[in-house]
């Protein structure tokens, strides 16, 4: 359990909070590129880390992310006219460029003198891997972009999408790094996780996957968590065939990324050539989170059907509406079907993402960690909290997070494999943890 003081420190992310200051030292996924396609198109409202913002793609194609309100009388910039490389407030015509600089005050008498001292908050942006990234920290501390493998792959070898989750970011992360729940929350009538996914990348048909049988053979995994420079590697070891262990190793990458172990391929005894996926848990405010999902197929293109399934609003991570709000939610009890719960699945809720959301949101907007009783299978969760609290407290005394400035640390994979019981996972699978992909490197500052 945590003290109330540490629980508050972990979960509060607004301007000036210790955790908010830490998260602002990293580049943050702000929008999917598909949300803001057209130059001079409609501005897009968004909220990140408790700040009200508006994004627009200007005439030249550059994305600006600025304060949601005009500096004059605080009129909403989401109603603004996006024109001639700037966003103009419709109230009195004040206009701002993508850097937040006031470039026109048509209703002001001494407008040239006034506009020189008018500026609204604006954050640097980069576009990479189908994502618009924003940096919200001190300009002098701006790092390079994280060098994730999936962001450097060609379009048909990666997907990204997102969905709203109505709870604090930290409890969503903790669900993402908890490997023990897979044997229960996602169990089906066959004793296997209820997963639908493409087969090997490149095939044309979306089909039922073949979940790893070892997940159900051994419901008492042995956990270990190794702190590394990029965050944590969290292993779950289960018994496999005699003389072998089945391993799943999650990656937690500071401050809010996870990479999930893939299922064992039918063609391979390890995950070295399998497509994989992960999540990014971006705080909207203290009580809401954008749960991003990305996939990577390093060795083959997805078919169009697979690509749509992994990234579309009605695909695996959905269904969501046009605003990326899930259609299954607390408002309709996640469409829980008691008959299915008794006869087909552990929960009676369709879809792994919806099953996860149901229990995470059901804890309340911010879970009261002072009332928890953690056990051995929560080792990764406990260490996540220790790492993030330590980094936030270090920053309070002037020690910067080292990983923020090292983009290459983000180029890692998760691992699923079967190894002899005599071979430690960190040795037997060390060649599988590093990502490798050709392609365009992240844009520099």
Q: Which tops the pLDDT comparison, 387 or 224?
A: 387
Q: Same domain, yes or no, for 130 and 173? A: no
Beta carbons within 8 Å of 400's beta carbon, 6+ residues apart: 25, 141
Whether 318 has a pLDDT exceeding 90, the answer reads no
The DSSP code for 186 is T
Whether 233 has a pLDDT exceeding 50, the answer reads yes
pLDDT at residue 204 in the model: 40
- Cβ atoms within 10 Å of 430's Cβ, excluding its own: 11
The DSSP code for 270 is B
Report if pTM > 0.75. yes
Q: Same domain, yes or no, for 307 and 346? A: yes
- Range of the structural domain that residue 309 is part of: 149-432
Given 85, 111, 141, which residue is the final one in a domain? 141
pLDDT at residue 206 in the model: 41
For residues 220 and 179, give the distance between their C-alpha atoms in angstroms, rounded to a whole number.
11
Name the one residue in this structure whose structure tokens are 């959301």: 357
Find the CATH number of the domain harbouring 203: 3.90.380.10
If one counts the domains in the chain, the total is 2
The fraction of the chain above a pLDDT of 90, given in percent, is 71
**SS3 call for 204:** coil
Tokens of 336: 């829980």
Q: Same domain, yes or no, for 89 and 202? A: no
Tokens of 144: 């390079």
pLDDT one-digit tens code per residue, 137-180? 999 999 999 999 999 999 999 999 999 999 999 999 999 998 77
Given 122, 141, 160, which residue is the final one in a domain? 141
- For residue 439, is it within any domain? no
**SS3 call for 39:** coil
- Cβ atoms within 10 Å of 433's Cβ, excluding its own: 18
- For residue 67, is it within any domain? yes
Find the CATH number of the domain harbouring 137: 2.102.10.10
Q: Using 50, 70 and 90 to split pLDDT, how confident is the model at 265?
A: low
- For residue 125, is it within any domain? yes
- For residue 8, is it within any domain? no
Q: Same domain, yes or no, for 93 and 235? A: no
* Lateral strand order in the sheet of 27-32: 27-32, 131-135, 125-128
Q: Same domain, yes or no, for 309 and 283? A: yes
For residues 166 and 176, give the distance between their C-alpha atoms in angstroms, rounded to a whole number.
15
Largest CA distance in the chain: 84
Q: Same domain, yes or no, for 128 and 222? A: no
Q: Same domain, yes or no, for 178 and 293? A: yes
Sign of CA dihedral 386, 392, 396, 400: positive
- For residue 21, is it within any domain? no
- For residue 349, is it within any domain? yes
Bridge partners, residue 434, by sequence: 412
> Closest Cα to residue 231, out of 286, 294, 278, 185?
278
Name the one residue in this structure whose structure tokens are 């002037």: 398
Name the one residue in this structure whose structure tokens are 């576009």: 127
Whether 196 has a pLDDT exceeding 50, the answer reads no
Given 123, 141, 159, which residue is the final one in a domain? 141
Rounded CA Rg of the chain: 23
> Closest Cα to residue 345, out of 219, 226, 193?
193
Tokens of 428: 């037997």
Q: Same domain, yes or no, for 42 and 94? A: yes
pLDDT at residue 440 in the model: 61
Beta carbons within 8 Å of 331's beta carbon, 6+ residues apart: none
Q: Same domain, yes or no, for 239 and 316? A: yes
CA distances from 170 to 71, 119, 254, 319, 320 (A): 33, 33, 12, 23, 22
> Closest Cα to residue 237, out of 387, 412, 386, 428?
428
- DSSP-derived secondary structure for 281-336: EEEEETTEEEEEEEEE-TTSPPPHHHHHHHHSTTSTT--B-TTS-BSSSGGGGGG-
Beta carbons within 8 Å of 371's beta carbon, 6+ residues apart: 1
Q: Same domain, yes or no, for 377 and 359? A: yes
**183-190 long-range contacts, Cβ below 8 Å, gap at least 24?**
183/215, 183/216, 183/219, 183/221, 184/219, 184/346, 185/346, 185/347, 185/355, 185/356, 185/359, 186/346, 186/352, 186/355, 187/216, 187/345, 187/346, 188/344, 188/345, 188/346, 189/343, 189/344, 189/345
Whether 192 has a pLDDT exceeding 70, the answer reads no
pLDDT one-digit tens code per residue, 2-59? 999 999 999 999 999 999 999 999 999 999 999 999 999 999 999 999 999 999 999 9
Q: Classify the phi-psi angles of 104: left when phi > 0, otherwise alpha if psi is within -120 to 50, otherwise beta.
A: beta
Q: Same domain, yes or no, for 99 and 203? A: no
Q: Which tops the pLDDT comparison, 426 or 445?
A: 426
Interhelix angle for 4-11 vs 169-176, to 10°? 90
- Cβ atoms within 10 Å of 383's Cβ, excluding its own: 18
pLDDT one-digit tens code per residue, 366-382? 999 999 999 988 889 99
> Closest Cα to residue 291, out of 174, 169, 413?
169
- For residue 4, is it within any domain? no
Q: Same domain, yes or no, for 52 and 178? A: no
Looking at every residue in the chain, the average pLDDT score rounds to 89
- For residue 17, is it within any domain? no
């Amino acid at each position: 359990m945590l003290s109330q003081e540490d629980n508050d420190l972990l979960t509060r992310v607004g301007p000036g909070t210790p955790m908010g200051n830490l998260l602002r030292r990293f580049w943050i996924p702000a929008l999917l590129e598909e949300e803001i396609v057209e130059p001079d198109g409609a501005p897009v409202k968004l909220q990140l880390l408790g700040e009200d913002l508006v994004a627009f793609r200007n005439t030249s194609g550059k994305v600006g992310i600025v304060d949601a309100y005009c500096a004059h009388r605080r009129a909403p910039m989401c109603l603004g006219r996006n024109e001639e490389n700037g966003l103009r407030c419709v109230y009195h015509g004040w206009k701002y460029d993508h850097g937040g600089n006031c470039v026109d005050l048509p209703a002001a008498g001494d407008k040239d003198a006034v506009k020189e001292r008018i500026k609204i908050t604006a954050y640097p942006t980069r576009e990479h891997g189908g994502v618009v990234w924003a940096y919200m920290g001190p300009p002098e501390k701006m790092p390079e972009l994280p060098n994730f493998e999936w962001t450097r792959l060609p379009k048909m070898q990666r997907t990204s999408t997102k969905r709203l989750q109505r709870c604090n970011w930290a409890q969503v992360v903790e669900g993402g790094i908890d490997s023990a729940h897979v044997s229960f929350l996602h169990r089906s009538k066959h004793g296997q996780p209820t997963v639908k996914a493409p087969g090997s990348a490149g095939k044309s048909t979306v089909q039922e996957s073949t979940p790893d049988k070892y997940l159900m053979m051994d419901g008492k995994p042995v956990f270990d968590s190794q702190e590394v420079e990029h965050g944590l590697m969290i292993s779950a070891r289960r018994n496999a065939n005699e003389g072998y262990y089945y391993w799943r190793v999650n990656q937690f990458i500071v401050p809010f990324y996870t990479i999930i172990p893939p299922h064992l391929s039918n063609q391979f005894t390890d995950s070295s050539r399998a497509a994989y996926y992960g999540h990014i848990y971006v705080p909207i405010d203290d009580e809401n989170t954008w749960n991003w999902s990305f996939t990577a197929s390093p060795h083959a293109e997805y078919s169009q059907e697979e690509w749509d399934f992994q990234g579309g609003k009605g695909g695996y991570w959905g269904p969501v509406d046009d605003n990326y709000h899930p259609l299954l939610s607390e408002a309709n009890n996640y469409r829980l079907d008691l008959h299915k719960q008794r006869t087909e699945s552990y929960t009676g809720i369709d879809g792994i993402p919806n099953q996860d959301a149901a229990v995470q949101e059901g804890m309340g907007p911010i879970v009261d960690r002072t009332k928890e009783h953690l056990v051995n299978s929560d080792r990764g969760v406990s260490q996540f909290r220790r790492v993030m609290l330590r980094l936030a407290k270090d920053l309070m005394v002037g020690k910067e997070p080292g990983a923020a400035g090292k983009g290459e640390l983000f180029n890692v994979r998760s691992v699923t494999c079967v190894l002899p019981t005599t071979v430690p996972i960190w040795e037997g699978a060390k060649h599988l943890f590093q990502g490798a992909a050709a392609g365009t490197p992240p844009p520099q500052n």
